[in-house]
A and B are shown apart, each in its own frame.
Chain A
Amino acid sequence: KAGVTQTPRYLIKTRGQQVTLSCSPISGHRSVSWYQQTPGQGLQFLFEYFSETQRNKGNFPGRFSGRQFSNSRSEMNVSTLELGDSALYLCASSPGTSGRAFSKGSYNEQFFGPGTRLTVL
C-alpha cells in the first residue's frame, strides 16, 4: 500500500505570495492532519480534516487554511507569506473513523508523509 505523498517536496516563495501544498493520504484513510515543523517551535498542529470537514484546528492565524476533497486528498494554503512561515509542512493520514483514537479498543495511528519544505525569501 502506498504511503502518504506530499507535493511539492520543496518550494521557494517570496514574502506576500501565497502557496498551496498538497497531500494524498493512504488509500482508505479519511483523516488528514497538517503540522508545521520549525527549529524554534518544533512540530505544531495546524488543522485536521475528516470527510471534507475541518474537525480540529490549531492556533494559527487565518492566513493558514485548508480543505479536503471527496477522495480524501487535502490541500493547505498559506496566503500573504511571511519569512516566519519558512518550515517543513507535514501531513499525516489516519483511518480516522472516530474523533478519539481509542474507541471501543481501537486506535487510529497517524502516518506521516515526507513533508514539503517551504522557504520564504
Chain B
Amino acid sequence: GESVGLHLPTLSVQEGDNSIINCAYSNSASDYFIWYKQESGKGPQFIIDIRSNMDKRQGQRVTVLLNKTVKHLSLQIAATQPGDSAVYFCAENSGGSNYKLTFGKGTLLTVNP
C-alpha cells in the first residue's frame, strides 16, 4: 500500500476499546475543522467535521471535540473495530477558504483483534 508517513504518532488499541486521537491546530482564525481517515492505497475519506461555534459534534461511533482556547481537536471512536485501522488526519481551513485545507501530520491507529 501507499506510505503516508514514516514517523507518525501511533495509537494501538484492542478491538472494542474506545480510541482518542488528538490534534493541535495552528491557526486561531480557523473556523472549520475536519477529520479524515486514510487507508493504505486510498485517498483520505471524510469522517466528521465541526465549525468553530461548536465544541462537540457526534456522528456514527465518532465524536469530535474542539477546544479553541488551547487550539486542540480530538476524535473519539467508540467500540473500535479492525476496519478502523488507518491513518487519521485533522485539517483546518487556515487559509480562510474551506477549499484550502491545512492538514496535520496524521496518527496511525492500529486495532488489535
| A contact set with B: CB distance below 8 Å | 4, 31, 33, 35, 37, 39-40, 42-45, 48, 50, 55-56, 58, 88, 90, 92, 94, 96, 99-102, 107-115, 117
Contacts and interface: CB of A to CB of B under 8 A. Distances in A.
B97 interface: yes
Interface string B51-71: 100000000000000000000
A45 B95 contact: yes
Interface residues of B, number: 32
A55 B99 CA distance: 9
User: Which of B3, B6, B43 counts the most chain A CB atoms within 10 A?
Assistant: B43
Contacts of A112: 36, 43-45
Contacts of B51: 102
B44 A43 contact: yes
Contacts, number: 84
Contacts of B4: 37, 39, 88
A80 to B, nearest CB: 25
B95 A111 contact: no
A66 B48 CA distance: 29
